[in-house]
Structures are given as structure tokens and as C-alpha cells.
């Protein structure tokens, strides 16, 4: 069995090699933003999850590396376009692609990344490649659906908790689930095993995104890699905001609505005031409890997987690391 660290190193080497190869193609202006995006680093969670899932059933992980690369490229494509939509200026402590280059270049290079991910995926040799491509394609559409819901929520103040959870399931969780099930499919695992890994990934992804929301508001900017309080400044309908609007006292709710409606304010002042309401209303505590609930469900699914514990150890280790991160 490969360790998480070994797989991260292998993925990093593959990403570096393939991103360098892109600059051998023309027009170089199309591929420079792609290389920049991939070279910015990141946790490489999705490709490592895919390889870990594959490794549960086979040691020949080289067979799955193109798929691992594909899901990492696709993930970075979504981040690139998200940053444009959110007008974000920093990603992983570096200028976002549309800031480093320009918006048109970022859009076009992002489109190329989406198609490039399929070029990598079809390099895989597996009797279940078509099934994996179908999973990948359905997931790509779901991610777009999640992004649309996120955009729709910007115009509403009546977003419900269950709506938000479905949005983050589509926007974030399904790609983690796809990585895990995709790895299992490529290794020709039994259908029930692949489906269980998908459910594990869904729950892990929901916990991961809720933790991300908490870090965006209560994390440390230096370790988190992007500006803290961005969701607050953008009035994003997060789990925290939705529950604060529902649970806060009448006075605090009015104060929160006032901050949402203000167009002229000192950013640090708004962030500080809204954070205080999140704590006082219990929204922060509720978010932390929800993270624990989804994480515990994920671990329960993993525990029930009919494989030896030693085989599942690295997957459990990475899941724990994902939920205890500070960045």
C-alpha cells in the first residue's frame, strides 16, 4: 500500500511534468495560464483520493495516474472560473489567474483545461473506462449546477439550510466522491464497493466544505492562503449566515441585515461585527457540529467497507487530515 505522502509526491511530479509539456504546444498564450494555475500547488486531495481508492484494489497505480491528473486539472479549472465570478484576487497566496493575466485569457484557458482533463482521462486503460467517463461527465455537470445554485442564492435572503447543503454537495462534495468511485471503477472493484466509496466521499466533501466556510471566516489568512472574511464581504449565503439569520435575536438579526444592505463600510469592521454575531447566535457552534456529523458518517461508511483495516488506514488518515486542517 502506498502512503498519502508517497502519492502526493507522485501526483506533484506528474502535474509538474505535464504542465511543463503544455508549454511545448502552440499558442503558448493559451497554455501559460494553465501552467500557472497548476503550478500554484494546492493539497492535491482529489487525485490522491482517486489513487488511494484505486490502491485499495490494485497496486498498479500508474494505470490510474492519468485519471488522477484529469480530476486535478478539472478541479483547477473550476477554481479558475470561480475566481473570475467571485472577483477573487488571491488564491494560495498568489494572484489569481485573471489578475496575473487577464479575464479573457483566464476564461479561454479555463475552457481548455476542462477539455484537457478529458484528454488525460482517456489515457487510462481499464475495462470500465466508459463507466468512469460517464461518472466524470455527470459530476462535471453537477458541479456546474452547484455553481448556478450558489449564484442564485446571491439574490435571496430566504435560503434554507437544506438548500445550502444540497448546493455544496453539488459544487464540492460530488467531485471528491467522483475521485473515490472513479478510482474504484478503474481498478474494477465490485459495484457495491464503488458506491460505498462514493457515499464516503460525499459525506467527507460536505464536512470539508463546511470546514472551509469556517476557515474563510475564522481561519488565519497566512495559513489559509486567501483573504479571511471574503464570504462575509460578499454576503455569501453560507451555513453560518443562514443559521445566524434564523437563530440570532431580533436585535442582532437587524444588525446583520444592516451589514448585508450596507454598500459603504470599512471591511474589517463588517467582518468583525458579523463574526461576533455568528458566535453569539450559535451559528458557529452549529457549523462545527455539522462538520463532525458528516465526518463521523463518512468514517462509519469507511469502517463498514469489507476490506482489512490496514488497507483502509491511509484513506482514514487523509480524511482526518482534511478535517483538522488550518488551510
pLDDT tens for 166-202 read 999 999 999 999 999 999 999 999 999 999 999 999 9
pLDDT higher than 80, residue 223: no
Could you read off the pLDDT of 58-68 as tens digits, one per residue?
999 999 999 99
Provide the phi-psi class of 96: left if phi over 0, else alpha when psi is between -120 and 50, else beta.
beta
What is the distance between the alpha carbons of residues 181 and 179, in angstroms, rounded to a whole number? 6
Instruction: Name the strand (E) or helix (H) holding 94.
Output: strand 94-95
pLDDT digits (tens, 9 = 90+) for 132-141: 999 999 999 9
- Can you give the pTM of this predicted structure? 0.93
What is the topology classification, in CATH, of domain 4-323?
Farnesyl Diphosphate Synthase (1.10.600)
**Which residue ranges make up each domain of the chain?**
4-323
C-alpha cell at position 84: 473570475
Q: How far apart are CA 7 and CA 72, in angstroms?
A: 13
- Distances from the Cα of 188 to the Cα of 67, 199, 307, 312, angstroms: 14, 18, 15, 17
Mean pLDDT of the chain: 94
User: What pLDDT sits at residue 226?
Assistant: 60
Largest CA distance in the chain: 61
Whether 224 has a pLDDT exceeding 70, the answer reads no
Q: For residue 220, is pLDDT > 80?
A: no
* Cα→Cα distances 95→84, 90, 188, 268, Å: 12, 5, 41, 21
Give dist(CA 113, CA 122) in Å, integer.
15
Amino acid at each position: 500500500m502506498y502512503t498519502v505522502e508517497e502519492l502526493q509526491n507522485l501526483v506533484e511530479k506528474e502535474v509538474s511534468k505535464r504542465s511543463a509539456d503544455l508549454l511545448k504546444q502552440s499558442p503558448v498564450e493559451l497554455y501559460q495560464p494553465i501552467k500557472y494555475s497548476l503550478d500554484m500547488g494546492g493539497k492535491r486531495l482529489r487525485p490522491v483520493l482517486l489513487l488511494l481508492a484505486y490502491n485499495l484494489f490494485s497496486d498498479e497505480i500508474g494505470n490510474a495516474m492519468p485519471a488522477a491528473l484529469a480530476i486535478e486539472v478539472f478541479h483547477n479549472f473550476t477554481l479558475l472560473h470561480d475566481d473570475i465570478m467571485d472577483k477573487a484576487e488571491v488564491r494560495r497566496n498568489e494572484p489569481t489567474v485573471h489578475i496575473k493575466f487577464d479575464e479573457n485569457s483566464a476564461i479561454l484557458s479555463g475552457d481548455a483545461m476542462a477539455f484537457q482533463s478529458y484528454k488525460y482521462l482517456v489515457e487510462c486503460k481499464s475495462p470500465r473506462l466508459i463507466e468512469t467517463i460517464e461518472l466524470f461527465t455527470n459530476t462535471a455537470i453537477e458541479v456546474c449546477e452547484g455553481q448556478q445554485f450558489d449564484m442564485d442564492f446571491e439574490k435571496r435572503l430566504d435560503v434554507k439550510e437544506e438548500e445550502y447543503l444540497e448546493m455544496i454537495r453539488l459544487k464540492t462534495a460530488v467531485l471528491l466522491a467522483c475521485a473515490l468511485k472513479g478510482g474504484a471503477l478503474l481498478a474494477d472493484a465490485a459495484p457495491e464497493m464503488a458506491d460505498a466509496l462514493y457515499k464516503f466521499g460525499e459525506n467527507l466533501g460536505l464536512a470539508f466544505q463546511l470546514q472551509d466556510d469556517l476557515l474563510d471566516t475564522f481561519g488565519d489568512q497566512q495559513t489559509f492562503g486567501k483573504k479571511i472574511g471574503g464570504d462575509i464581504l460578499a454576503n455569501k449565503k453560507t451555513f453560518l449566515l443562514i443559521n445566524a439569520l434564523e437563530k440570532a435575536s431580533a436585535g442582532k438579526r437587524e444588525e446583520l441585515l444592516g451589514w448585508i444592505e450596507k454598500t459603504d463600510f470599512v471591511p474589517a469592521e463588517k467582518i468583525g461585527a458579523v463574526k461576533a454575531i455568528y458566535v453569539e447566535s450559535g451559528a458557529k457552534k452549529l457549523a462545527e457540529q455539522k462538520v463532525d456529523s458528516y465526518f463521523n458518517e463518512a468514517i462509519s461508511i469507511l469502517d463498514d467497507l469489507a476490506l482489512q483495516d490496514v488497507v483502509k488506514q491511509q484513506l482514514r488518515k487523509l480524511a482526518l487530515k482534511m478535517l483538522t486542517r488550518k488551510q
